[in-house]
Structure 1
Amino acid sequence: MESFEKGTKRREGVINIIDLHGTWREMGRQYGALMASEMKHICERAITEKLVNENGLNIDNLKDRAAKFYANYPFRFKEILRGMSETSEMSLEQIQLVNAVELLAATAHDLPQCTGIAAWSDYVSDTLVYGRNYDYLPWFKELSHDIVIACYHPADGSLSTATMGYAGEIYVVNGMNEKGIYLELNNGMPSGGALWYDSRVPSVAALFQFLLDGASLDEIESFFQTTKANFAYIIGVSDGQTARCYEWPVFEVKRRESHSRQGLTVLSNHFTEFSWGLPRPEDKTNWLTRSRRQNLLTLAKHFKGTIDSKTMMKMMDTRIEDLGATTDMTVYQMVVVPERFQLWFKIPDTQEWTEIDMKAILKPREE
């Protein structure tokens, strides 16, 4: 166990787990000191070697894009990043590059894809279980040792919130708060188009705010209704009892209604809420978004009534060739039982399913 000021760090296999306490600046200082080596590795391996040296991208252009991403961050999240630069021996410019690494690595064809599935009610043997694949460029597997579960315990009274992703990313593509609300993001470009607004708060930062401020699914829903996305996304949100899916292009948001399958929702990369009136996207040019969704629907139907965390892990382990959803682009995976604050994390080719006790990390306050 390492510690710095009020923060601590430990590992479960290669997964880093950091526990941060205090003001936003203090939590940033703890993050920077505890995760410096992992952030430097991302800066050197991903930004310098991969994007600049191998892919020929211009470093000034990358710095400019990273600064634009940071520009509309809420003040409290900027404080985290400023705190990180105080203790990590990295400049704020480098910290901004690491924070934006997934965005900078993205091109029109190579965006994080991802698949999510939530099962409850008649589909499960006991209580709601959520499965999640995070899919990205295969070379991100070189950053497997830089994956972190970062838990923030803010002194301002916000809800304790844990984010899961790569070191130095101060936003939510996967997260859980002390009320047991789990949230995950998928790219919605095949249906919502490729418009990107630099003039809006990045949606991934807004989702971090949602978890810090939202104590129920209804509250989180009101945040979706209030907030415009800066890019097209599909978001899965669940508590211990039920899950909801939000299809969130830049001009509107709709909660997907599951008419035919009560107790099951599967998210890939296209909108399926029929009121959009959209055709289904072509599968091959859109990362097999329809195949991945259909395969998980079929697996869930097959296991209906018996799905629990073990079965869900088996479903998430099923490769697309074997009629599952996992591909060579799957860089990490999760299975979550929000009601019990249980999370299992897997890094394909690096670490098998590992249970993480989120209750011990989030330390939910007494009502």
Structure 2
Amino acid sequence: MDRRKFLLSSSALLLAGCGGNTDPGPHSRFEAGRKYLFEDVPVAVLAGSWRQMGRQYGAFFADGIRATYRMVAPYEDQYNRGCGRMNRDIIEEIHAAYPQGMQQFFVGMAETSGLALDQVKAANALEMILIFGSGIYPQTRCSGVSVWGDYSVDKRLVYGRNYDYTAAFAALDEHVVVTVFHPDDGSIPFAICTWAGCIYASTGINARGIFVEENDCSQHDRLASGFYATGDHYNMRTWVRDDAMLMALLAGAGSMDEADTWMRANLPVYSHNIGVADSREARCYQWNVAERVPHAPYVRQTEGLMAQTNHYFQVPQGWELAPFSEGDGASGSIPGGSIARLNNLLNIAEGRRGAIDLDGMCALMDVEIGDGGARVDGTLFQIVCQPETLRLRLTTLKRRGRWIDIPLSGLLLAKNS
């Protein structure tokens, strides 16, 4: 389909789909793909080979991909003092972390987005490249909390997730997108939430109800993450490569047992907390490099409640790693610090035990750090998910106070027609 036909299709479907947000109909189509708008959040449902899905993605999100690339472009050929390497080499390393089939997605993106292949690969490396070219919020990093059993309404598991980063990323607020993949290679359909042009599973869920979210732990295990100086640079490892790997988990894990097998068999290059959940339980995988032996088992605070921020709250036996401390090394009283945010999430959930559902989790995630919550100045977007029903709610920095309901069930379980 040429560009003119795509635009005509978009206009006709927009008129046909104005009746409401619960089942709005597709806003536009391109080849086998569909794009929806849930309020003002764009959701693409892609189908076919990885290259075909890349073509659909590039057509739907061309403006957003180009906006992402424009933020990366000034640094694309510069020396990265965070990693001690050229940014172009980092871009290629991230791309090489994808399985060969998934790499074809970027070929398809280049065919329809108006960008060259090297440029879409650079856009995908946004987080690794931009963070060292911009200032960091003083109160930042990611966090997550999940409740189920006695802690939730009807014992249904609900998961809340804050995605925290640097001030520069706020410019991409309107380009936070949800993408649903229906690969034709036998993979499980899955969805991710990222900025347009960023194709990895820092937050995602698949059609079997396996939810995944990633949190940085470089402040705790600086050696494993490369967060130490050598000459004119740090030695940071390419953590976005690990988020790319998590797409393979979503595409292949149909149960928590299969997710557990995958997490133990696939080790990262960087230190993370990975939240994994289904309809019955949530786990925090203290995911770390191969040099950490034995590989960390999953942990949680108690049955029915799990929260994680940016440190290993239970240091596994065999790890030569001191317990995490902030400031005075005892109370962890730094505003917005990892310990403070973890304790706040646990305290709020404990205080609302038995009363947390989707609405309740949204209310919990709305609480600011100064009011005893975990949302900070650098919280760029937030997600609440109920894996059993495949319901997802999203808000962003510029949409605070307004949670958008995205009914993923129909989009994940039914192929485009």
Task: Provide TM-score, normalisation by structure 1.
Answer: 0.91
Q: Which amino acid aligns with 1:233?
A: H
Give the Cα–Cα distance (whole angstroms) in 2 for the partners of residues 257 and 346 of structure 1.
28
Give the Cα–Cα distance (whole angstroms) in 1 for the partners of residues 315 and 413 of structure 2.
40
Structure 1 partner of 2:408:
358
Selected match of 2:344 from 295, 310, 313:
295
Selected match of 1:134 from 163, 171, 184:
163
Q: Which amino acid aligns with 1:43?
A: Y
For 1:211, what is the secondary structure of its paired residue?
Answer: helix
Structure 2 partner of 1:25:
51
Which whole-Å deviations, capped at 9, do the CAs of 1:183-217 have from their partners, x for residues lacking one? 1000011222223556x992112110001000001
Q: Which amino acid aligns with 1:123?
A: Y
Selected match of 1:64 from 76, 81, 89:
89
Selected match of 2:322 from 278, 281, 288:
278
Structure 2 partner of 1:172:
201
Selected match of 1:254 from 275, 278, 296:
296
Query: How far off is 1:130 after superposition?
Result: 0.4
2:75 aligned with 1:34: no
Which whole-Å deviations, capped at 9, do the CAs of 1:33-58 have from their partners, x for residues lacking one? 111111111112x2246x589x9979
2:242 aligned with 1:203: yes
Selected match of 1:226 from 265, 281, 297:
265
Instruction: Work out whether residues 286 and 297 of structure 2, in 8 Å CA contact, stay in contact via their aligned partners in 1.
Output: yes
Query: How far off is 1:265 after superposition?
Result: 0.5
Instruction: Work out whether residues 72 and 201 of structure 1, in 8 Å CA contact, stay in contact via their aligned partners in 2.
Output: no
Structure 2 partner of 1:99:
124
Q: Which amino acid aligns with 2:185?
A: D
Give the Cα–Cα distance (whole angstroms) in 1 for the partners of residues 336 and 242 of structure 2.
22
Question: Which ranges in structure 2 are unaligned for 5 or more consecutive residues?
Answer: 1-26, 227-235, 327-331
Query: How far off is 1:87 after superposition?
Result: 1.2
2:280 aligned with 1:241: yes
Q: Which amino acid aligns with 1:140?
A: F
Instruction: Work out whether residues 256 and 273 of structure 1, in 8 Å CA contact, stay in contact via their aligned partners in 2.
Output: no
Number of residues of Structure 1 aligned to a counterpart in Structure 2: 359
Give the Cα–Cα distance (whole angstroms) in 2 for the partners of residues 171 and 244 of structure 1.
20
Which whole-Å deviations, capped at 9, do the CAs of 1:2-30 have from their partners, x for residues lacking one? 11111111222332100100011111111
Give the Cα–Cα distance (whole angstroms) in 2 for the partners of residues 72 and 337 of structure 1.
30
Which whole-Å deviations, capped at 9, do the CAs of 1:48-76 have from their partners, x for residues lacking one? 46x589x9979x93333212221232112
Shifted more, 288-297 versus 135-144: the winner is 135-144
Give the Cα–Cα distance (whole angstroms) in 1 for the partners of residues 89 and 315 of structure 2.
39
Instruction: Work out whether residues 244 and 255 of structure 1, in 8 Å CA contact, stay in contact via their aligned partners in 2.
Output: no
Structure 1 partner of 2:31:
5
Structure 2 partner of 1:117:
145
Structure 1 partner of 2:15:
none
Structure 1 partner of 2:387:
338
Query: How far off is 1:106 after superposition?
Result: 2.6
Give the Cα–Cα distance (whole angstroms) in 2 for the partners of residues 101 and 12 of structure 1.
25
Instruction: Work out whether residues 336 and 376 of structure 2, in 8 Å CA contact, stay in contact via their aligned partners in 1.
Output: no
Structure 2 partner of 1:264:
305
Structure 2 partner of 1:158:
187
Structure 2 partner of 1:184:
213
Structure 1 partner of 2:101:
76
Query: How far off is 1:364 after superposition?
Result: 6.0
Q: Which amino acid aligns with 1:115?
A: S
Give the Cα–Cα distance (whole angstroms) in 2 for the partners of residues 52 and 264 of structure 1.
42
2:346 aligned with 1:321: no
Cα RMSD, aligned residues only: 2.6
Identity rate, percent: 31
Instruction: Work out whether residues 333 and 340 of structure 2, in 8 Å CA contact, stay in contact via their aligned partners in 1.
Output: no
For 2:299, what is the secondary structure of its paired residue?
Answer: coil
Give the Cα–Cα distance (whole angstroms) in 2 for the partners of residues 161 and 5 of structure 1.
19
Question: Which ranges in structure 1 are unaligned for 5 or more consecutive residues?
Answer: none
Larger Rg: 2
Query: How far off is 1:362 after superposition?
Result: 0.3
Q: Which amino acid aligns with 2:149?
A: S
Query: How far off is 1:174 after superposition?
Result: 0.4
